[in-house]
Amino acid sequence: MIHLHARDPKEGFPTTDPDVYAKFLPEIKKNCDAIINITTGQPSLRALYEKRPDWAFEDRMAAPLEFAPEVCSFNMGPVNLGIWTLKDKLLDKATHDWERYLLTKTKGVTLLNTSEHMEYIAKEMGEKRGTRFEYECFDVGQLHNLRLIADLGWVKPPFYIQAVLGFVGGLPATSDSLNLMQQTAEKLFGDSHYFSVIGTGKSQMRLVTQGATLGANVRVGLEDSLWLGKGELAKSNADQVKRVIRILDELSIEVATPNEARAMLGTKGPEHTNI
C-alpha cells in the first residue's frame, strides 16, 4: 500500500488540489500494482494562510472524493500539531515562506476531525464510493472513538488500525505506548481488525520492528521520518521500504503482495477507482 499526500510542484508546499494529484496518481497506478491510499487529513496550506475554520475540511476532502481510491486515511480525532516545537531548530534552515509560516503559526492550530467530519467521511467515502479506511489513531482515546462510530454503524470491519506514535500531541514513540495501543485495539476489536504501527522520527525502524515481532503490520516513509538509520538520512521512500523488508525477511516475517493485502482488507480493487 502507498499512502499519498501532494505537494505543489513549484514551491513544494502541501496542497490538496486534485489537479496536482492527477499528475502522479495515474502514473503510479500504471506502473505498479500497489493499493493507492490518499490522505483525508492533510490540511490546506492556503486555508491556514486565510485562517479558514477547520483548515477547510472541504479542501481536505477534494482529492479523495474525486478519485475514490481503494483506501484513504481516516483520523480518529483532533491533533494539536507540534510543528512549532521545531522552530528554534529549523527556522534558519527554511528556504520558503510557507515553511517559516508553518514553523511559527501552527502553535495556535488544531487539526480537527470532528464527529460530523467522521460521519461525512464514512458516508461519502465508505458507503457511496466503496473506499476502505486506514484509521489513524494518535492516542488510546481515538481507538475508543473508532469503536463508537463502528457501534453506530458508520464504518464496518475489517478495521485497519494505524497507531501513530511519536507525533507531538499524541502518544510518544515508546515500547509502552505500542503495547498499550495494541492491547487496547485487541480488546476493542478482536479478530475484526488488523493492527499497524508508525514510528516517527529516529524511532521509526526500531518501533516498527518491535511491532512486527508482535504481529503488527508496519508503515515507513518520509512523511513520518527522514532517517534510514542512526545518523543516516534516507534518500527516498524506497530506501526505507527496502530496509524494513530486509529486517522482516531476517525475522522470517512474510510481506504480503498487493492482492493479498486487498483480500485481507476487502478493498474494491483498482478497476473501481477514478484514478
Neighbours of 26 (CB within 10 A): 12
Closest CA to 71 of 214, 230, 217: 217
What's the pLDDT at 14?
87
Q: How confident is residue 23, by pLDDT bands cut at 50, 70 and 90?
A: very high
41-57 mean pLDDT = 74
Q: What is the pLDDT of residues 208-251, one digit of tens each?
A: 999 999 999 999 999 999 999 889 999 999 999 999 999 999 99
Q: What is the pLDDT of residues 169-221, one digit of tens each?
A: 899 999 999 999 999 999 999 999 999 999 999 999 999 999 999 999 999 99
Q: How confident is residue 48, by pLDDT bands cut at 50, 70 and 90?
A: confident
Length of the chain in residues, anyone?
Answer: 275
Q: What is the DSSP string of 163-225?
A: EEES-BTB--SSHHHHHHHHHHHHHHHGGGEEEEEEE-GGGHHHHHHHHHHTT-EE---TTT-
**Which domains, and CATH codes, for the chain?**
2-272 (3.20.20.70)
What's the pLDDT at 98?
84
C-beta separation of 77 from 110 below 8 A? no
The chain-wide mean pLDDT, for the chain, equals 93
* Torsion, Cα of 215, 222, 78, 104 (10° steps): 150
Q: How confident is residue 53, by pLDDT bands cut at 50, 70 and 90?
A: low
C-beta separation of 228 from 240 below 8 A? yes
Q: How confident is residue 54, by pLDDT bands cut at 50, 70 and 90?
A: low
What's the pLDDT at 83?
81
Q: How confident is residue 80, by pLDDT bands cut at 50, 70 and 90?
A: confident
Stated pTM of the model: 0.95
Q: How confident is residue 25, by pLDDT bands cut at 50, 70 and 90?
A: very high
Q: What is the pLDDT of residues 106-151, one digit of tens each?
A: 787 788 899 999 999 999 999 999 999 999 999 999 999 999 999 9
